[in-house]
């Protein structure tokens, strides 16, 4: 075993425990939101912790089943109609991710505008909320799991219209409300400082178990029945335990629907992983940079393994990874430890896990969905201007229209990928419209050694230039003089401004670069800045 991993064990062991406590309710909740067996969610957590972390060169990223894929998986399971065939789609996704990694396409996320990515994440939040509301009320009649289960518009018979209200379970609702309240209060600074490494989701889940067991003990009508509790299989022997794992139906390689969903899962999972990796690298105190091509390959191996043994699709997950950073992890050993603890939990305490009310998991996902789709996100993009707002809102409307309201039934479950393409088209259309008046150029002027490297930005700097600008800034030599001149610009994309800020705040101090920013307008919200006394 690597000596560095062992040296950091005193940091990684407690942080691995923290991540396990965060991941356990999320693995179960995401499996529930996906319409998949609870066991499959735990399998994916184990694969993400042991297999992917073992292969990845990311020090702090933690992988597992992601809320961002829950609605896609839900739609895939309905469209495919068989869980073992769906596992073949996961296997196909894993193989494609390995090929993407080998083809060195880890920089693909740089070509998708941030407004579209944020629109996708916001849509996922809305879909999660909509599909968890029925579980929060204890009424889940329609297997599609849509919000309209509670409000069946179009019924002319008032008795039918009020029928869902007759099925609402009061105990289920109380548990959901208490769980949400607990997590909100636990996130307050006063409590968070006292118990920094105990996640609010875990506290809510434990509290829900205790309350329901008290109700059962006293024979209360509020007691939640087994149909509204987690149902993990409990093994009586080692052989029985291994029988819980599912093999894929390899006939899926000849099934068009399975192949299409395999491709979609690969694209969405890769995008979510690359975004998460970028965010975690920026949070890393040691500023280590993850090789995204190796990460894609590791994710592909993980998804292939998950598909072969009965798991859900896996990605790098920002919630678990952030918890890992905040808990003081030093290496990927913490992610491996969290995976081992998940494995131990399903072997040693499945009976305890089966006492968790589904409405407590719904509460966890409702808050997760809200954080992705809170009103401030919409306000922020509205204030950012039409170049940001139009692609964002187009992405949201298309995804929600297809996957929630089923405006085109034949496309149901494919809203994420269609919405992303629609957003990219909207973003490109806005830029092309702008370019009718202002042609784009990106000019980098390199002088002899010791002179200033000058980067002049043109009138219109769009998201299409993000990858080239990132590559240029990443390869600036140490101890150099760099001038970024925005004097001639009329528009700079938000993503490019964030790249320049990242270069200024992170790369410049690390490489001892003398930097000068000139010509940046007040609207860009980036100050003109200078480490250079005089520029040639």
| Per-domain boundaries in the chain | 3-421, 442-530
- What is the reported pLDDT for 151? 41
Residue found under tokens 């990694």: 101
Are 45 and 358 spatial neighbours (Cβ–Cβ below 8 Å)?
Answer: no
Cβ burial 161-185 (10 Å sphere, 16+ → b, else e): eeebeeeebebbbbbbebbbebbee
Q: What is the pLDDT of residues 440-469, one digit of tens each?
A: 344 445 544 455 788 888 888 877 778 778
Select the highest-mean-pLDDT range: 7-11, 30-34, 238-242, 301-305.
301-305
- What is the reported pLDDT for 3? 58
Q: What is the pLDDT of residues 17-52, one digit of tens each?
A: 989 988 999 999 999 889 999 999 999 999 999 999
253-270 mean pLDDT: 94
- What is the reported pLDDT for 376? 95
- What is the reported pLDDT for 535? 41
The DSSP secondary-structure symbol of 506 reads I
- Listing DSSP states for 430-471 in one string gives HHHHHHTTS---EEEE--STTSEEEEEE-SEE-GGGHHHHHH
Q: How far is CA 331 from CA 9, 50, 62, 322, in A?
A: 9, 13, 11, 13
Q: What is the pLDDT of residues 479-494, one digit of tens each?
A: 888 889 999 888 888 8
- What is the reported pLDDT for 199? 86
364-369 mean pLDDT: 90
> If you classify domain 442-530 with CATH, what class do you get?
alpha beta
pLDDT, the chain, mean: 85
What proportion of the chain, given as a percentage, has pLDDT over 90? 46
| Axis crossing angle, helix 83-102 with helix 67-80, rounded to the nearest 10 | 130
Nearest partner of 223 among 165, 138, 132, 166, judged by Cα: 138
Confidence of residue 328 (pLDDT cuts 50, 70, 90): confident
Nearest partner of 415 among 44, 30, 16, 72, judged by Cα: 72
Cβ burial 396-418 (10 Å sphere, 16+ → b, else e): bbbbbbbbbebeeeebbbbbbbb
CB atoms within 10 A of CB 459: 16
Q: CA–CA separation, 495 vs 523, rounded Å?
A: 14
293-302 mean pLDDT: 96
pTM (2 decimals)? 0.78
- What is the reported pLDDT for 168? 83
| Axis crossing angle, helix 333-348 with helix 9-34, rounded to the nearest 10 | 60
396-424 mean pLDDT: 83
Residue 381, H or E segment: helix 375-383
First to last CA, the chain: 52
What SS3 string covers 175-204? HHHHHHHHHHHHCCHHHHHHCCCCCHHHHH
Q: How far is CA 81 from CA 92, 112, 195, 255, in A?
A: 17, 32, 44, 12
């Amino acid at each position: 075993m690597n000596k560095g991993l062992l040296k950091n064990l005193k940091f990684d062991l407690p942080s691995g425990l923290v991540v396990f406590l965060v991941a356990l309710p999320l693995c179960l909740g995401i499996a529930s939101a996906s319409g998949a067996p609870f066991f499959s969610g735990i399998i994916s957590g184990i694969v993400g912790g042991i297999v992917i972390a073992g292969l990845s060169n990311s020090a702090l990223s933690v992988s597992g089943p992601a809320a961002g894929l829950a609605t896609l998986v839900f739609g895939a399971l309905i469209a495919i109609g068989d869980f073992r065939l769906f596992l073949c789609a996961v296997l196909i996704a894993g193989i494609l991710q390995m090929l993407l990694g080998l083809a060195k396409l880890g920089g693909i996320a740089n070509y998708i505008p941030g407004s579209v990515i944020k629109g996708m994440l916001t849509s996922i939040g809305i879909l999660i909320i909509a599909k968890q509301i029925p579980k929060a009320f204890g009424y889940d009649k329609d297997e599609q799991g849509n919000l309209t289960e509670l409000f069946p518009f179009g019924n002319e018979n008032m008795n039918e219209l009020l029928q869902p209200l007759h099925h609402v379970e009061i105990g289920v609702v109380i548990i959901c409300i208490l769980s949400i309240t607990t997590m909100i209060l636990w996130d307050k600074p006063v409590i968070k400082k006292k118990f920094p490494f105990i996640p609010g989701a875990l506290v809510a889940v434990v509290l829900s178990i205790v309350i329901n067991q008290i109700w059962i003990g006293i024979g209360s009508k509020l007691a939640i029945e087994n149909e509204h509790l987690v149902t993990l299989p409990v093994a009586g022997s080692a052989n029985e335990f291994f029988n819980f794992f599912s093999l894929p139906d390899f006939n899926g390689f000849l099934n068009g629907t399975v192949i299409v969903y395999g491709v979609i899962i690969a694209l969405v999972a890769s995008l979510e992983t690359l975004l998460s990796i970028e965010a975690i690298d920026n949070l890393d105190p040691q500023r280590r940079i993850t090789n995204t091509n190796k990460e894609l390959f590791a994710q592909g191996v993980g998804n292939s393994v998950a598909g072969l043994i009965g798991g859900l699709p896996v990605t790098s997950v920002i919630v678990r990874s952030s918890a890992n950073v905040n808990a003081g992890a030093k290496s990927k050993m913490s992610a491996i430890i969290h995976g081992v603890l998940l494995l131990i939990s399903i072997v040693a305490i499945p009976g305890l896990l089966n006492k968790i009310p589904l409405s407590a998991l719904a509460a966890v996902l409702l808050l997760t969905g809200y954080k992705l789709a809170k009103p401030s996100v919409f306000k922020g993009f509205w204030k950012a201007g039409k170049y940001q707002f139009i692609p964002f809102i187009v992405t949201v409307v298309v995804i929600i229209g297809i996957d929630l309201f089923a405006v085109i039934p034949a496309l149901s479950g494919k809203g994420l990928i269609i919405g992303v393409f629609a957003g990219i088209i909207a973003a490109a259309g806005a830029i092309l419209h702008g370019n009718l008046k202002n042609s784009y150029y990106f000019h980098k002027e390199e002088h002899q050694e010791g002179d200033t490297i000058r980067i002049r930005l043109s009138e219109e700097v769009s998201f299409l230039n993000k990858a080239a600008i990132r590559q240029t800034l990443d390869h600036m030599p140490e101890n150099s003089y760099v001038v970024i001149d925005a004097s001639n610009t009329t528009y700079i994309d938000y993503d490019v401004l964030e790249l320049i800020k990242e270069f200024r705040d992170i790369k410049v101090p690390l490489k001892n670069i003398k930097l000068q920013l000139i010509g940046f307008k007040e609207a860009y919200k980036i100050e003109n800045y200078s480490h250079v006394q005089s520029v040639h």
